[in-house]
Structure 1
Amino acid sequence: MAADPRQFGRRGVRRALVLLAGAGVLISGCASMPDSGDIHPVKAQGGDSQVRVYAVPPRKGAQPEEIVTGFLEAMTSDDADFATARKYLTAKASKQWRPGDGTTVLAAAPDVGQPASGSRGEPGMGYPLRGRQIAAVDAQQAYQPMAPRDYRSSLHLSLQTTPEGKEWRIDALPAGLVLGASDFQRNFVSINNYYFASGRDVVVADPIYIRRKQDPVTGMDATAQAVKSLLDGPTNWLRPVVESPFPTGTALKDGVTSLTFDDRNTLRVPLNEKASHVGRPQCVKMAAQILFTVRDVTSTRVEQVELERSDGSQLCVLGRGQAEEFAADQLSGRPDNQYFVDEKGRLAVLSGAAKEITEPELVTGPLGDGRLPVSAVAVARDEHNAAAVSKDSRRLFVSSIVSDGEPGAPVLESRGQNEHDRLSAPSWDGRGDLWVADRNPADPALLRLPGGTGEPQKVKIVPGLDGGRIEALKVSADGVRIALLLKKGDTTTLNIGRVERSGPKNDPVVSVAELRPAAPQMETVTAVSWAGPSRLVVVGKEAGGVQQVRYLRTDGSSPPDSLPGLNGVKSVAASDDPERPLVAYSEDDGIVRRPAGGNWQTMVEKEHGSSPVYPG
């Protein structure tokens, strides 16, 4: 099955797949299979149907093409410290190469160009590497998407003296790893590290990528990797707005590379001496961070986390239920109800407790009895009040939806000349503050109303919007992040910003900093909603494509969840609870919902309602 190196050319790395009969496991061999050497048996992993790549060392007398092919393939494996991949490098190059420094993610495996001989005084051969880069993962394991761009780099080879004689080896290579998207997804998995919002007992998700199985560099299993990365601290982007109660220098106890559960589903985490003297309140928060972080890493249901001192004695124990007091959505009513605006501009509710679709009911008060016809709403997370934009999008009202009363004066008015240049749909954060955008071209602004009814305050965006304007917004339950739809020309993009607060705690100066693209592959995004701690549901389309509803992580990467197609979607709403149905408004089908794992179901005919929302 040897691949003919003469066919190497520009077609990139080839891959040979072998199916183990009866084992249900695929293994991927080196693109250029050796015609000599030992055969290594592969033990089948029960229930593991993932493709596994096993690196193959260079054969004696391997030609430059085989060295290049073999190294690129070995880079996609997970052997300890990339030992096999290093066999393709010179001693100096191997010492300098640090695979953990970051990963360049290409749309497909790198394409290798025709070799070029070194110029006079530079013996050897150079092979250009080309591709379309779609993302980068930095040394903190943070993922950053990008609009596809040309990637160009190279590998340089030289003849080296070895005990077997002269052999070709790579003496210059790109930093870190260079992987195609499929290899990246096979080797890495997205997880959330959790830190506390600055000055608050609420956890905030910080998405990163770790190795799915054992980390070749540290030798740690996935759970240990997750805890290690948590102890290393938040990513640079999130760091200014979060904090961690772990004492500086806290790490796993020396030699710990695996964390396992006992028969009561308790995870024991041995820490080093730095954490041995913390008090119980601090330890409880430390345990909560670990519990939230590891619960999505393993299929085992984490019932409690026990932290241990360096001498093995117990530091503290925290149960799953106790940790929930630190959840960002703790103010939400349970179950979350679904709200919408009916054909007469009234706010209606569908019970979140009902398993079957039920008849909607109008809320109590002026928003439900028709005295204040509205076009868009946001229901407070405690489901006691709601903010509503008037039919002409000029005025913003806040009213109770659980008791009757007279309509109050508007809390905000826009001076925009037409409906589309006035107020956006509002959004409540987890602190009880209300956010809205005034789209008036003469005075565009992002506004925050403390407590929902306080004096509107302009929120500064650093750096500015560079000529764009905010079309829509959604604030996360933790109040630390905001999703903005920014329109510039004919393009509307999705961006995630960091909400920073400075000054007095009771009267802070609030700003949004360091906007970053969350869907650079999409030409236009028309709607967005938070769908969990670090997940969004987005409506948009790629250049030349059709509209789609899809999930995205806040770092811009795509989770494996897929959604069935739906046409003419104008708005979408999701709960922080993944078990709650996704809700959308379609011009073709009306208000529809999709239960977890199910298909879209019509809730309200298109003539009778629009603008569905969950609390938030």
Structure 2
Amino acid sequence: MGADRAKRGRGRPVRATAYVGIGAVLLAGCASMPDSGDMRDVESTPRQDAQVRVFALPPAEDAEPQEIVQGFLEALTSDDLNYETARRYLTGDALKTWDPGASTTVLDEAPTAYTRVTGERPEADEYGFELSGRNVARVDGQHAYTPTGGQYRKHVHLTRVKQTRQWRIDQLPQGVVLGRSDFERNYKSINKYYFTSAAQSGEPGTVADPVYVRSQVDPVTQVVRDLLKGPTSWLNPVARTSFPSGTTLLKGTKALTPDDQNRLVVPLNKKANRVSASRCREMAAQLLFTLQDYMPTGVDEVELQGSTGAQLCVLRETEDDGMITSRGVDRSAGYEYLIDGEHKLVRLSERDPVTTPSPVPGALGEGERQLRSAAVSRGEDRAAGVSADGSELYVAPLTAGGTLGDPVLRSSGATAKDRLTTPSWDGRGDLWVADRDPDKPRLLVLADGMGEPLEVRTPNLDGRIEAVRVAADGVRVALILESKGKRALYIGRIERDADAESTTVSIVELRSVTPDLEDVTAMSWAGDSQLVVVGREPGGVQQMRYVRVDGSPIPGSGPSALTGVEEIAASEDESQPLVAHSADGIVRLSPGQQWQTVVKEGSAPVYPG
């Protein structure tokens, strides 16, 4: 049985419009289904181990309509390669039209089916069914995840096949529907890797595109096929693939499996036969990054072959000949940064046993201007600091003797909370900051951190920006928006449009990634496609959790509890510790350890970015 599937006894069909509830479904491997007995609730099956394969049973001879629906719903949670067992519950016409790959609907619990007979006679040859539940998410045909809400209601129709007198489903919704527990057991999130468009992020880098694949059904081949199809619709405007249009796996390719040397051979169709050596290596890099995300220790080398079987190129993880052989930029920060009790910018090395921060070189570390927040460039050679009252933004080099100069931006907000947010550097070296002045709220970007502030277009923005963090790839931005007293986290796509006279920067297609939190107080990027978030559910207490950029949950618990968290900082290098400003001061959480106080007096911890 699926992990969150519950079974109830059969009920006799009744008059039209009268409903009898039936649960879903028997665990694959059960010998039979009961055909008599009182209606009763049965506890759902415990969560299956991730490595256990689950297969459903085909329809039993002379199965009643309720059993057919139950068996079909169960088959949707199984590990059949192409839902072969589920298809056996359908009529021939339904087989031709049903597309299980169209979408996956995730409900809070397994779908409940209510049946009603279409005639008044028990021997009627038709049944109508309604599947219902509460929506949690939808995974589309590109395998992209989107949180959803509201009620799920879809109709299923059964008929008795004339030739066999067996009940079968002849009308049903497209795609697959299952409960959240079964989804978490059956599917796994992986990052596909593409290159950012040069027009969007300057120097081409990599950008993660998260999708969900069925974890027990030939996942390596699924991952490769998904990568070859190109970026998902949301990311496509700012990302590119090096695979030529129309590239697929060579016809007849079965399962792809790394050999005992962790080498994977990928045969491609003729579209890839004429690629240059450099482009082929970019293609191989996309495959290597993507497969290493799915199975970190499983693929060390990728070989691409053309349609004739000839080798096109080979890329090994350890190679470094000037092309991109790692994901994006070097994201391992040299220091953690914060504002100390004297409102100066200081830094602390994770590798240094000394836990006393030292002032950064240059004016921002000398206390020439008191600061309340700062952002350090990804190269750690410059920093931007916001004055203690939030009205001025300064940019200065992190070198001894560096001068401060005039502010590069001023806010006219009446109070400190109505002025500048903590700034953020993107991967191309531009500086982002929001001005919260109620009379003139703006999101601004300064080219190379010192250009004329350019107002970013934010169509369909609902609320005031309270925090902004740009990803290292330069094409995604995380925003905390406040609206009607509630603060939520959104991810937007950064689009740049330049001509001979000007450049336009826009944030488009904002999507919520914390729909169940009503008060998000802090966030930080914490990996290629995830963030760490501090927030509160309605009526709940403050919590800290990891979330993916598509809004999907991350299995396992979040960071250990911490009291009174005001600010949080994480490195996009996931091996580096979390740093937070809490009721205990500046604290650090290294992998496998507990929170430790680093500085009693301090605020605004940040990593480069």
Partner of 2:44: none
CA 1:567/1:14 → structure 2, altered by over 3 Å: closer, same or farther?
farther
Question: Which of the residues 6, 15, 26 maps onto 2:11?
Answer: 6
Q: Distance in 1 between matches of 2:30 and 2:103?
A: 24
* Aligned-residue offset at 1:57: 1.3
Measured after TM superposition, the shift of residue 405 of structure 1 is 2.8
Deviations 1:330-375 (CA, angstroms, capped at 9, x unpaired): 254x443111111110111110323x56221111122112111100
What is the 5 A alignment of 1:399-414? Answer: 399-414=396-411
What are the residue-to-residue correspondences of 1:344-363 with 2, within 5 Å? Answer: 344-354=342-352, 356=353, 358-363=355-360
How far has the Cα of 1:321 moved from its partner? 3.8
How many angstroms does 1:554 deviate by?
A: 0.5
Equivalent residue letter for 2:364: L
CA drift of 1:424 comes to 0.5
Query: What are the equivalent positions in structure 2 for 1:148-547 lying under 5 Å apart?
Result: 148-163=149-164, 166-199=165-198, 200-214=203-217, 221-322=218-319, 325=324, 327=326, 329-330=328-329, 332=331, 334-354=332-352, 356=353, 358-461=355-458, 463-466=459-462, 468-504=463-499, 508-547=503-542
Structure 1 window deviating more from structure 2 (558-567 vs 267-276): it is 558-567
Taking structure 1 as reference, are residues 505 and 314 closer, same or farther at Cα in structure 2, changes over 3 Å only? farther
Cα–Cα, structure 1 residues 264 and 78, in superposed 2: closer, same or farther, change >3 Å?
A: closer
Question: Identity over the aligned pairs, expressed in percent?
Answer: 49
Are the aligned partners of 1:32 and 1:70 in contact in 2 as well (CA < 8 Å)?
Answer: no
Q: What is residue 101 of structure 2 aligned with on the other side?
A: 100
> Cα–Cα, structure 1 residues 154 and 51, in superposed 2: closer, same or farther, change >3 Å?
farther
Do the aligned partners of 1:497 and 1:513 also contact (CA within 8 Å) in 2? yes
Q: Tell which deviates more after alignment, 588-597 or 7-16.
A: 7-16
Per-residue displacement from partner, 1:180-203 (whole Å, max 9, x unpaired)?
Answer: 011111111101111111124211
User: 1 CA distance for matches of 2:315 and 2:214?
Assistant: 27
1:574 is displaced (CA, Å) by: 0.8
**Letter aligned with residue 253 of structure 2:** V
Residues 53, 216 of structure 2: 8 Å contact kept: no
Amino acid at match of 1:237: W
Contact 1:447–1:458 (CA<8 Å) still a contact in 2?
A: yes
Once the 2 structures are TM-superposed, how far is the Cα of residue 108 of structure 1 from its aligned partner? 0.8
Closer, same or farther: CA 326–476 of 1 in aligned 2, 3 Å: farther
Name the structure 2 match of 1:565: 561
Q: What secondary structure is seen at the aligned counterpart in 1 of 2:131? A: strand
The aligned amino acid for 1:127 is F
- 1:88-119 superposed Cα distances (whole Å, 9 cap, x missing partner): 11111122111000011101101222534359
Contact kept? 1:192, 1:293, Cα under 8 Å: yes
CA deviations over 1:455-511 (Å, ceiling 9, x no partner):
1000101x3314x11110100001010001111111111111111111249963211
Amino acid at match of 1:112: A
Distance 2:35 2:276 in 1: 59
* Cα distance in 2, alignment partners of residues 222 and 33 from structure 1: 35
- Of stretches 400-409 and 432-441 in structure 1, the one that deviates more from structure 2 is 400-409
Q: What is the TM-score normalised by the length of structure 1?
A: 0.89
User: For residue 68 of structure 2, what is the aligned residue in structure 1?
Assistant: 67
Offset at residue 49 of structure 1 (A): 5.5
> Is residue 25–residue 71 contact of structure 2 (8 Å, CA) maintained in 1?
no
Match of 2:607 among 592, 599, 614: 614
The answer to whether the 8 Å contact 2:8/2:23 transfers is no
- Which amino acid counterpart does residue 133 of structure 1 have in structure 2? N
Give the Cα–Cα distance (whole angstroms) in 1 for the partners of residues 500 and 608 of structure 2. 25
Give, in angstroms, the shift of residue 12 of structure 1. Answer: 2.3
Deviation at 1:326, TM superposition (A): 5.7
More displaced 10-residue stretch of structure 1: 439-448 or 267-276: 267-276
1:143 maps to what in 2?
Answer: 145
* Structure 2 counterpart SS, 1:115: strand
Structure 2 distance, partners of 1:268, 1:5, is 51
Question: Structure 2 CA distance, aligned partners of 1:326 and 1:386?
Answer: 28
Q: Which residue of structure 2 aligns with residue 128 of structure 1?
A: 130
Structure 2 gap segments, 5+ residues each: 2-6, 13-18, 37-47
Change in 2 beyond 3 A, CA 1:527/1:33: farther
1:31 deviates by: 9.3
Sort the Cα spacing of 1:33 and 1:604 in 2 relative to 1 into closer, same or farther, 3 A.
farther
Task: Output one character per residue of 1:531-589: Cα deviation in whole Å (capped at 9) or x when no partner.
Answer: 11111111111212221110011000012242212221111111111111111111x22
Tell me how far 1:124 sits from its aligned partner.
Answer: 1.6
Residue equivalent to 1:576? 572
The separation in 2 between residues aligned to 1:176 and 1:534, in whole angstroms, is 26
**Superposition CA RMSD, Å:** 2.4
SS in 2 for 1:139: coil
> Residue 479 of structure 1: SS of its match in structure 2?
coil
Work out the CA distance in 2 between the residues paired with 1:450 and 1:65. Answer: 64
Contact 1:28 1:52 in 2 (8 A): no
Change (3 A) 1:505 1:124: farther
Deviates more, 1:340-349 or 1:304-313: 304-313
